A and B are shown apart, each in its own frame.
Chain A
Amino acid sequence: MNETGGKKSIGGDFVIPVAALVFTLYYFSTIIESPWTAQVAAFFIGAILIALTLLFLVKSAIAIGRGQADLGMNAVIAPTGLLATRLGLLAITAAYLVLIEWGGFTLTTFGFLLAAMLLLNRGQRAGFITLFALAVSLGGYLIFILAFETRFPRGPFEELIQAAMQAGI
């Protein structure tokens, strides 16, 4: 919750209750014809959640009506100077999740770390960041995949090293 011009900006405060309300109504639609065992706990919890959400909405509407608050979204987007960076990081993270299935852990993590660190450092110290991202992703590969054989997503790099090791190179 932020304050602008003496008024509290409470638009952001609605996101969670509205999401909860929408999800609860959707959930109810999936169990409406189910046996009572599937309904009992959800209807009980959902009814309380709807009541709490409505209470919150009424309370907020009164505050807005009295001129004590407005529907500004400052709480979520502040600091506004960082909005582009934050959205950029979100986009890079989403791309990481899409690409890791094909690229595997090591290559994709290297790319993600490089892009994200360059973004957060505003393009400065590119050489150091490249080496650091390489060291972290290779370190992750050595510890988790090679040493502990953890079930990380595998891709061309992991396959290549495995093939080389099997060939005794």
Chain B
Amino acid sequence: MELQLDLYGPLFLHTLSYWWVIVPSIFLGLLVGAIPGFSAANTIIILLPLTLVMDVEVGLIFMVALYCSSRMGAGIPAILVNIPGTAGAAATPLDGYPMTKAGRGQQALAMSFVASSLGGLLTTVLALMTMPWLAQVGYYMHSVEMIVVMLFGISLIASIAARDTLKGLIAGFFGLMIGSIGADHVYATPRGTMGFLELYDGVPLIPALVGLFAVSEAFLIIEAQSILSRHSRDLLKTAGWSATLEGARIALARWWHITWNSIIGLVIGVIPGAGASIASFVAYQQSRTYSKTPEAYGTGHPEGLIAPESANNGVTAGTLIPLLILGIPGGATAAIMLVVMQYHGVIMGPHLFSDRPDLGYGVFMAMAVTYLIMSFTILPLSRYMSKVTLVSTAYMAPIIIAFTLVGSFVPREYMFDMALGLVFGVIGYIARKTGYHVAAILIGVILGPLLEQYFLRALKMSEGDISVLFSSSLGNVLWVALFVTVLTPFALDYKRRRRAAHG
């Protein structure tokens, strides 16, 4: 496969002419991304009959625009009301919500939009340039390497635990234990299911996300009339366009941070089975580790918001690379795109770029145009969206509970999942009131089963030989990187304290 640079200009203009498909798809994507339980994948499935009757190019542009904007949409409730729309935005409220509570919600949204658009646009261009090489990444990432990638994400628990180590670690390991519920990956032995058949496939993520973040938040916010203090309300009410511009300026000034974290997202996105949640946790953890002000993370630090948002949008381009070049979907949305393309008789693989370059390169061009259009259409909305936080909690809390619990019903259509959402809500409420971080529990629930799956696969293939974990060159490089990442905060902290002691 060769790069066809001369094709990009005309293709860009051609894709731009489909703005009439892209703009409504963006708004639809923002809506479905913002409500837990409604992912881009679900929406594309719902609208599948419509997608199939569309011209293949229009259908593809529609799906890509919806996919990109839903990623950005998931960050909006995460910032404004501490409720991530998808698991990929679970690291966003760590610093986004404290900014909102301080009356800087508009600024935080602007930062998130710029980081998402720029991160997505940059990784799309990078994906276009490096597709043939990036597609190979999946071949080198076996179980051992994936174990280390998972541990990168899980090590974020240690960062979250920094303020109260014992409570943070208890929350994280409790999450890992909950994540172990379900049939084991080899013999399908049910474990810890309490007799519920609905838990044999493991703990579903949406009810966990909805309960730990949304329901617990709804029960917490009723303690005051507003989620904002009087000062923050005044600040938000009087904020003009300057807050949006300031947010955009703060994000743009951290262009290197956006670049670095979106590339983390791109590379993780290329790996089949990995996804936005892993990418955003890894990015947040990396960002905090190498920051000069790690203690500011979790208090409304701009870099703590920019890192996960640029990473989860970087994933978007990454997941499509194995789909287009190898015919292997990198995620649920990519798998549905594969179905639609096959229905239209389009065969995925390297030949796509020679036989139908308008579609092969067109996917990434649609992505680039979507991110460009999004940056102009969505950024001004931050001023109005942030006003949601002015709504009284007496109205906001019941709406959050009703719509998020019903959202947890949608993926599997089990009433059980709604009840599970409430159970997680009670756990999340008690955890928050007593200083256990719900994000640490969620990291365990998300990454625990994946880690176990890769761990068992590696052990089975090596016939129980544990040294397999250190048997690959790439894996060993990643192990070294992991240890450096885990130990660096301690080294930097020691250095800082020594410097302070010496005046």
Contacts and interface: CB of A to CB of B under 8 A. Distances in A.
A81 B174 CA distance: 31
A80 to B, nearest CB: 11
A101 interface: yes
A76 B430 contact: yes
B225 to A, nearest CB: 10
B455 A41 contact: yes
B152 interface: no
Nearest to A28: B192
A85 interface: yes
A148 B406 contact: no
Given A97-B405, A100-B418, A148 B434 contact: no
B173 A49 contact: yes
Given A49-B177, A59-B166, A120-B393, A38 B191 contact: yes
A15 B434 contact: yes
A30 interface: yes
B372 interface: no
Q: Which of B215, B397, B452 has the most CB of A within 10 A?
A: B452
Contacts of B436: 16
B184 A101 contact: no
Interface string B56-69: 00000000000000
A93 B191 CA distance: 29
A16 B402 contact: no
A82 interface: yes
Contacts of A105: 406
A93 B401 contact: yes
B42 to A, nearest CB: 8
Given A38-B187, A113-B402, A140-B403, A16 B166 contact: no
A37 interface: yes
B296 interface: no
A152 B222 contact: no
Interface string B427-464: 10011011110000000000010011001100110000
Interface string B473-502: 000000000000000000000000000000
B456 A151 contact: no
Given A31-B189, A55-B166, A89-B222, A12 B430 contact: yes
A34 B427 CA distance: 29
Interface stretch (B271-279, B344-352, B409-417): B409-417
The bracket for how many chain A residues form the interface is 35 or more
B270 interface: no
Given A76-B434, A89-B219, A94-B422, A56 B402 contact: no
A16 B46 contact: no
Q: Which of A41, A76, A89 has the most CB of B within 10 A?
A: A41
B5 interface: no
A52 interface: yes
A152 B410 contact: yes
B169 A97 contact: no
Interface string A17-37: 101100110110011001101
A152 B405 CA distance: 11
Contact of B46 (A48, A94, A148): A148
B397 A12 contact: no
Contacts of A27: 177, 180-181, 191-192
Contacts of A23: 174, 177-178, 192
A117 B395 contact: yes
Q: Which secondary structure dominates where chain A touches chain B? A: helix
A28 B416 CA distance: 24
Interface in B20-46: 38, 42-43, 46
Contact of B398 (A49, A52, A78, A116): A116
Nearest to B42: A150
Given A85-B222, A86-B219, A89-B222, A37 B177 contact: no
Given A16-B171, A97-B405, A120-B393, A34 B430 contact: no
Contact of A30 (B47, B191, B219, B223): B191
Nearest to A46: B177
Interface in B291-338: none
Contacts of B181: 27
Interface of B: 38, 42-43, 46-47, 166-167, 169-171, 173-174, 176-178, 180-181, 184-187, 189-194, 215, 219, 222-223, 393-395, 397-399, 401-403, 405-406, 409-410, 413, 415, 418-419, 422, 426-427, 430-431, 433-436, 448, 451-452, 455-456, 459-460
The 8 lowest CB-CB distance pairs between A and B, nearest first, are: A38-B184, A116-B398, A120-B394, A27-B192, A37-B186, A49-B173, A20-B174, A41-B452
Interface of A: 1, 12-13, 15-17, 19-20, 23-24, 26-27, 30-31, 34-35, 37-38, 40-42, 45-46, 48-49, 52-53, 55-56, 59, 75-76, 78-79, 82, 85-86, 89-90, 93-94, 96-97, 100-101, 105, 109, 112-113, 116-117, 120-121, 132, 136, 140, 148-153
28 contacts: A12-B433, A13-B167, A15-B430, A16-B170, A19-B174, A27-B181, A30-B191, A31-B192, A34-B191, A35-B184, A35-B186, A35-B187, A38-B187, A40-B456, A45-B173, A46-B177, A49-B176, A59-B166, A82-B223, A89-B397, A93-B405, A97-B405, A100-B415, A116-B397, A140-B403, A152-B406, A152-B409, A153-B409
Given A42-B177, A120-B398, 19 more contacts: A17-B170, A20-B173, A23-B177, A24-B177, A35-B187, A37-B184, A41-B452, A42-B191, A52-B170, A93-B215, A96-B402, A97-B415, A109-B406, A112-B401, A116-B397, A117-B398, A140-B403, A148-B43, A153-B409
